[in-house]
Structure 1
Amino acid sequence: MEKLLEEFSLGLFFWQTILFTLLLWLLWKFAWKPILKAVNDREEGIKNALEAAEEAKKEMQNVTADSEKLLKEARAEREVMLKEAREIKEKMITDAKEQAQIEGDKMIKQAQATIESEKKAAVADIKAQVADLSIDIAEKVIKEELSDKKKQLKLVDDMLGDVKLN
């Protein structure tokens, strides 16, 4: 340190101080301002990016909440539609059963009516056959009765006695 003090020159110190001051002024004028501006711009950009990220995060939460809400609404609507479909199915089954019952009753009534008409037709046919047989038997009996003259007269007298005169 003594050597430095011995070799100290005031002129050199003065010029070095002026040059150092000039260098500081030049750096401040041309380098520090752009560097500080770049640092401030970068800081502002990072700050804006963080704010945008925060906004995006909030928006994502809102979208997620909306999606959950829409999903719940869709599920509820699906449940309502399924319930309505079940009710429609049950109503269709009930209506089909009622319609089948009505058709069955109608068919039974038609069958009963057909049976009744066929029964009447059969009874009428039997009556006709009985009448034909009765006539055939009566013819045979009368032929035999009328073959004798005495029996004929007696039959005519009996018939005349049965007839009432007004």
Structure 2
Amino acid sequence: MSQSRSVRLSHRTVLTILLVLVVAAGLVLAVFQPWKAFTNTEVNEALPAPSSPSTETQTVSPRPAAAPKDLAEGRFVTHEHATSGLARTVRLADGGHVLRLEDLKTSDGPDVRVYLSTRDAEAVKTGLGDGAVELGKLKGNLGNQNYTVPAGTDLSQFRSAVLWCQRFSVAFGAADLSTATG
């Protein structure tokens, strides 16, 4: 004669297990944000245009505004997520600088930031390196967008533009910045 053994859990134990599972699921969702794998955010900003002087302050023959000048550029290469597009550093007519991302295509992510790094695009797979400058959160994973470079930043010190996931410390992709021709 065999005896069957049954385990009975109290209502309190069942509720505790369910509560733990709900909290764990909430934490997983908050950290990984899996819905981002299925979403896209497109941004299409124009390159900042020079401001024209007001008619009150114009002289008889106003000087034409200086055109933006490309300083360096490079194509994105894929690291942790498929990434393509062009990164350009541009000096604006007012003397300021922007990093411009054009035709960008990458994955959406939970905390993707745009950086300039002193390391080349291949080397940032293992980290941004000393002296990296954050330009802000990625505005969208598709399209054309501008990121203001802080005043006083010596762009000659930077070798790449990087899309970096802060939460997981990985590069989505990076672009070596080579001196622009022309």
| TM > 0.5 | no
TM-score by length of 1: 0.22
Q: Relative contact order (alpha carbons < 8 A, sep ≥ 6): 1 or 2 greater? A: 2
Instruction: Give the number of the structure whose alpha-carbon radius of gyration is greater.
Output: 1
Which protein is richer in strand relative to its size?
2
TM-score by length of 2: 0.20
Which protein is richer in helix relative to its size?
1
